[in-house]
Chain A
Amino acid sequence: MNWGVLLFPGSNCAEDCFHVIDSVLGEPVRYLWHKDTDLGQLDAIILPGGFSYGDHLRPGAIAHLSPAMTAVKAFAEKGGLVIGICNGFQILTEARMLPGSLLQNKGLKFLCQDQTLKVENASTAFTSEYETGDVIICPIAHNEGNYYAKSETIAEMERNGQVLFRYCDPQGLVNDSTNPNGSINSIAGIINRQGNVVGMMPHPERSSDSVLGLSAGKGVFVSMIKHIQTLNS
Chain B
Amino acid sequence: MTKKKADMEENLWRKAGLTDSEYELLTKHMGRAPNVVELALYAQMWSEHCGYTHTRPLFKHFLTTGPRIVQGPGENAGIVDIDDDEVITFKLESHNHPSAIAPFQGAATGVGGIIRDILAMGAYPIASLNSLHFGHPGAKGHTRWLISEVIHGIGEYGNCVGVPTVGGEVRFSNAYKGNPLVNAMCVGFMKKSEIKKAIATGVGNSLMIVGNLTGRDGMGGASFASKDLEDENDEDRGAIQVGDPFMEKLLIEACLEVFAEDYVVGVQDMGAAGILSSSVETASKAGNGVEIDVALVPKREEKMRPEEVMISESQERMLLIVKKGMEEKVNKIFHKWDLHAVVIGQVTDDGFYRVLEDGKTVGEVPVWSLMDAPTYVLEGKEPAHLAETLKFKNEDVEIPKDLNDVLLKLLASPDICSKTWVYRQYDHRVQMNTVVKPGSDAAIVRIKGRDKAIGITMDSNGRYCYLNPKRGAMSIVAESARNQVVSGAEPIAITDGLNFGNPEKPDVYFQLEQTIIGLSEACRALNTPVIGGNASLYNQTPEFGSIYPTPIIGMTGLVKSLAHVTTMEFKAAGDFIVLVGETKDELGASEYLDRIHGLVTGDVPELDLELEADTQKYILETIRSGWIKSAHDVGDGGLAVSLAESCIQGKLGAVVTLDTDLRSDSLLFGESQTRFLLSVAEENLDQVINEAASRGIEAAVIGRATQEPIITIHNNGLKLVDVSLDDCSNAFNNAFDLLMKADA
| A residues neighboring B (CB under 8 Å) | 9-10, 12-13, 15-16, 19-20, 23, 49-51, 53-56, 109-113, 139, 141, 143, 203, 205-206, 209, 211-213
Contact = CB atoms under 8 A, between A and B. Distances in A.
B162 A50 contact: yes
B448 A23 contact: yes
A53 B337 CA distance: 11
A79 B522 CA distance: 64
A110 B425 contact: yes
B159 A141 contact: yes
Contacts of A50: 162
A213 B435 contact: yes
Interface string B556-567: 000000100000
B337 A9 contact: yes
Contacts of B562: 211
B246 interface: yes
A51 B160 contact: yes
A56 B425 contact: no
Contacts of B426: 110, 112
Contacts, number: 88
B432 A55 contact: no
A203 B435 CA distance: 16
B642 to A, nearest CB: 23
A205 B432 CA distance: 9
B162 A141 contact: no
Given A54-B245, A54-B246, A141-B159, A16 B431 contact: yes
Contacts of A205: 432
A143 B427 CA distance: 10
Interface in B408-440: 423-435
A209 B253 CA distance: 24
Contacts of A53: 246
A51 B159 contact: yes
A12 B636 CA distance: 36
Interface in B248-268: 249-250, 253
Contacts of A51: 159-160, 162, 245-246, 249
B338 A9 contact: yes
A16 B247 CA distance: 21
A88 B214 CA distance: 33
B431 A15 contact: yes
Contacts of A54: 160, 244-247, 249
B155 interface: yes
A55 B435 contact: no
Nearest to A19: B432
Given A10-B160, A50-B162, A112 B435 contact: no
B449 interface: yes
Contact of B160 (A23, A55, A113, A206): A55
Contact of B430 (A23, A56, A141, A213): A141
A56 B448 contact: no
B160 A141 contact: no
B427 A141 contact: yes
Contacts of A20: 432
**A-B CB proximity, top 8 nearest:** A54-B246, A12-B162, A51-B160, A141-B427, A16-B432, A110-B425, A112-B427, A113-B424
Given A13-B162, A113-B424, 17 more contacts: A12-B161, A49-B430, A50-B162, A51-B159, A54-B249, A109-B152, A109-B424, A110-B424, A112-B423, A112-B425, A112-B427, A141-B429, A141-B430, A143-B159, A211-B435, A212-B434, A212-B435
A31 B411 CA distance: 48
B446 interface: yes
Contacts of B449: 23
7 contacts: A9-B338, A12-B160, A54-B245, A54-B246, A54-B247, A109-B424, A141-B430
Contacts of A113: 424
Contacts of B338: 9
Contacts of B435: 211-213
A10 B429 contact: no
Q: By CB atoms of chain A within 10 A, which of B249, B429, B433 has the most?
A: B429
Contacts of A212: 429, 432-435, 446
Nearest to A14: B162
A23 B338 CA distance: 30
